Amino acid sequence: MNFLACDLGGTKVLIAIYEEVNKDSPPKLITKERYLSAEWESIYAITKDFLKNKCKNKYFPKIACFGIAGPIEKNSAKITNLNWEISELKLKNDFHFEKVELINDFAVLIYGIPFLKSNQFKTLQSNTNNNNKFEGYHTIVGAGTGLGISRGIISKTKILVLPSEGGHIEFAPKTHDEWELKQWVKSYLNIERVSYERIISGEGLSNIAKWKLSKEDIRDHPFNKYLEEAKDSKIIEKSLAGKICQLAKAGDSLMAEIETLWFNAYSSFIGDLAIHELCFGGLWISGGTAPKHFKNFISDSFLKQFSNKGRLKDIVKTIPIRIILDEEFGLHSAACRAKSLLNIQ
């Protein structure tokens, strides 16, 4: 049987048709398409275009799973970073699905873990006492358009997913620069509270750059041109984080400083999360920025920031850390969840 999987993020939408091979194997990809979220009015329009124009009505999936960038309430969702509303019932009626599930885009990742292949992830810190990497209590964290977190318990026969909106915990500065940044973000966005997502995300990296460039002595930096262009274009605004990384890699010292501040805050947050969750099955780093910052994650700097937890430093050193390198792991996981829905009556 064919089924549809979708990874719906604030920046892009990946949608695909899969088929089941057998119960113990990952789903087999048949066809997929990538859409830019900002160019479409709704997920309904994207799904219609995919099934009618891209698939030419050759496939008629009866099961669908949509990983959504935001919380799910009463089988409906509002996309956190888009002005979209999505309903399971409307999807079911419009496209004649027998089963539809909306699930948080990070919660769904738990379903993909048991089917990960060795080339899809890299171990940063291991635990010799954990012989089966796919069993136990797991936590996934990832910075992309937003900052996602999910938890889950994986056994040989069952997966229990525990969704989280932990990326919206209030940002706790640890340095003078981080304190100054937090005050600036409050003023710039006219808000009273700054969450970690305002700092550790694509938007957060842009916020750090805007803060740095607001200082009078560096207002003539060429990146200001991109900031001006971004005021009139959502697409350019969403591409600012990638531009910062590109310039840092090319040798721009200011952009490198901005990227380092962002990465240090992220590394420390991941360590705090490890203490909070005690996820001895594994702490997984995912999201759009994970493969792009792979060299940073395998550096001594990451583990130093991660494990700098005072009296609990020895505990966090026993938690396995793995980074997911597959940039389409969200789509893969939605397909794994859709596959499991085949067996639910």
Indicate the angle between helix axes 202-213 and 234-249, nearest 10 degrees.
Answer: 80
Mean pLDDT in consecutive groups of 10 residues from the start of the chain, 345 residues: 90 92 86 92 94 83 91 85 88 94 93 92 82 83 89 92 90 95 96 96 92 78 82 76 88 92 95 95 88 83 91 94 92 94 75
**Numbers of helices and strands, H then E, in the chain:** 12, 14
Cα-Cα-Cα-Cα dihedral sign, residues 64, 69, 75, 76: negative
Are 104 and 67 within 8 A, CB to CB?
yes
Which contacts qualify for 227-236: CB closer than 8 Å, 24 or more apart? 234/38, 235/36, 235/38
Angle at 134 between CA 335 and CA 331, to 5 degrees: 20
- Give me the pLDDT at residue 238, please: 76
User: What is the rounded CA–CA span in Å between residue 339 and residue 208?
Assistant: 41
Closest C-alpha among 266, 156, 254 to residue 200? 266
User: What is the rounded CA–CA span in Å between residue 278 and residue 81?
Assistant: 30
Are 198 and 189 within 8 A, CB to CB?
yes
First-residue to last-residue Cα distance in the chain: 15
What domains sit in the chain, N to C, each tagged with a CATH number?
A: 2-112+328-341 (3.30.420.40), 117-325 (3.40.367.20)
Give the number of other Cβ atoms within 10 Å of residue 44's Cβ: 16
- Give me the pLDDT at residue 99, please: 94
Closest C-alpha among 164, 173, 122 to residue 276? 164
* Structure-token pair, residue 166: 């932990």
- Give me the pLDDT at residue 216, please: 64
φ/ψ bin of 99: left (φ > 0), alpha (ψ from -120 to 50), beta (otherwise): beta
- Give me the pLDDT at residue 133, please: 64
> Which of helix, strand or coil describes residue 241?
helix
Task: Kindly state the greatest CA–CA separation across the chain.
Answer: 64
Instruction: Find the Cα–Cα–Cα–Cα dihedral 278, 279, 284, 289, rounded to 10°.
Output: -30
- Give me the pLDDT at residue 129, please: 65
Are 3 and 95 within 8 A, CB to CB?
no
Q: Give DSSP secondary structure letters for 318-337.
A: TS-EEEE--TTHHHHHHHHH
